[in-house]
Amino acid sequence: MTARQPARPEPPDGQHEPPDGRGEPPDGPAERSPAPSPSPPSGEGAGGGFGGGGRQSRGIVVARVPFPVVDEISRHCPDESQPETVHIEVHLPGRVDPARLRTAFHRALARHPRILMRQAPVRWWHRRYLWQLTAAPDVDPVDFPPPGPDALARARRRALDACPPLDASPPVRLEAIEDTGGGTVLVLTIHHTALDGPSCLRVLATAAELYGGAGNPPGPAPVRATGPGTERPKADDPPGAGRRFSRPARIAADPGRAPQGGRSGNSMLLAELPIPARPPRTPGGAAPYTVNDQLLVATWLMVARWNRLHAPAGPHRTAAAPSTAPVVITMPVDDRPRGAEMPLGNGTRLVSVGFGPEERLDAGPLTADPPDPDAVARLLRRTAARTRALKAAPPGRQLGLAATVLTAPVVPVRLRAAMTRALRTAAAPWTSTTLLSNIGRIPYPLDFGDAGRPTAVWFSAPARMPRGLTVTTVSVAGRIQLALRWSPVLLDDAAGVRLGTLFRSSLAATAWTAPPAAGASR
């Protein structure tokens, strides 16, 4: 199944800040709290507009939490044309009861109070941003848009184009769409400055438990047997770093792409793919590589093959040839527990998987159509060694030392914001090629009782320039749910579809085939 959802601009939510007389930041004088952004005009859905609509109230502040490093960096660099939204889409086979779902979700919010957050008012002299944790939601985040053949497409468009406001608790929106086939699609939109996808999925699992009446404990984490290459990398030899001082490759823009007309937001392609076969495990051992390694290799192949097809031609080209620039893939790693005690927020850390000299030697066979199986096998083994070393290394800072220094509350936030934006612009050429976020198997049953368990789940991460492309995968019922999300500055919708086709064939190229004498693959 493949679905393409172009992004279309919608009017941004308005914002105003009438006083309510509550709160005083610990590092500044008393300040009045902003009122939440007003709801869009009624008519978008039951209750009047996504976000639940209806009467809004200001929840009592029960605690104040300084912005962590990831939240502050994101808050420093807003871009209205590229909203920082995380999109989650859960397909259920049956209909949900609106009142029960709303009640269950609100009770889930109460069980996870860290999600009931809004940004405290800030003045330029304050040394930090603060989250205000509220006793109750400021707005109802649950909405039931009117059904129709384009209801799901419209919900997806909102998920790509419109962030839930940070000045109203919670910064999450849940829309329940009646599917034309008799099921329900839950579309969650998260402001990534406040929360990540796994955090919101944890809250949804609690809501499913409260809605269906059955337990939703997380499944056990997969046990991975140790294999060769698990030694920690030397401090001066990061695994797979490629050419340390080389600028990473970029996704080549399509020279024949259609004009975008100043369109904001992202575009997205959703697809369902088979999990590629792997060699059987040896008794008491591990497979030579994981599905995550296959996804990394498929992403590398997609980028390298795309760039070879769209390489600048002629002797006077100004861009580096795709074969000489190393492909670097950023990969989020989440070490948090998945139970009810899971810390909410932006809890993943980012690691980079670099591809460099060895891949350049095999560039011809790897970018052929189809890729050479022996070259792909070599790339899989090298990638597995790199990821094993990364996992064995001690966890580092989420965004590195530079981000920690930038967010130290030494100078006012406005000065830090200006420095952060300047450094972000200067560092743009060294940003990784793309981001691959592999959620893996959904750890919760997400049993919604009479509405059933999910038949499909998609996540998508924001695709801001200069990367301009993110790849997000989830494993559900033995299938890979793929979301490609891209900036219209980089690709148009037709190019995005061709890129998705390349990923499909690249993932298929990583599948293991048993030797003739070894029997069928499993």
Model confidence over 395-436: pLDDT tens digits? 777 776 777 777 788 889 888 889 889 988 998 888 999 999
Q: What is the pLDDT of residue 312?
A: 66
Stated pTM of the model: 0.83
* pLDDT per residue as tens digits for the range 225-275: 444 433 333 333 343 444 455 789 999 987 666 656 566 789 999 999 999
Q: Are 160 and 268 in contact (CB under 8 A)?
A: yes
Q: Which residue has the higher pLDDT, 241 or 334?
A: 334
Q: Which of 495, 492, 474, 494 is nearest to 483 (CA)?
A: 474
Q: Which residue has the higher pLDDT, 414 or 58?
A: 414
Alpha carbon distances (Å) from 306 to 273, 295, 312, 353, 467: 20, 16, 12, 19, 15
List 4's β-bridge partners, or say none: 269
Strands (E), 72-220: 85-92, 117-119, 130-134, 142-143, 172-178, 184-191
Q: Are 212 and 447 in contact (CB under 8 A)?
A: yes
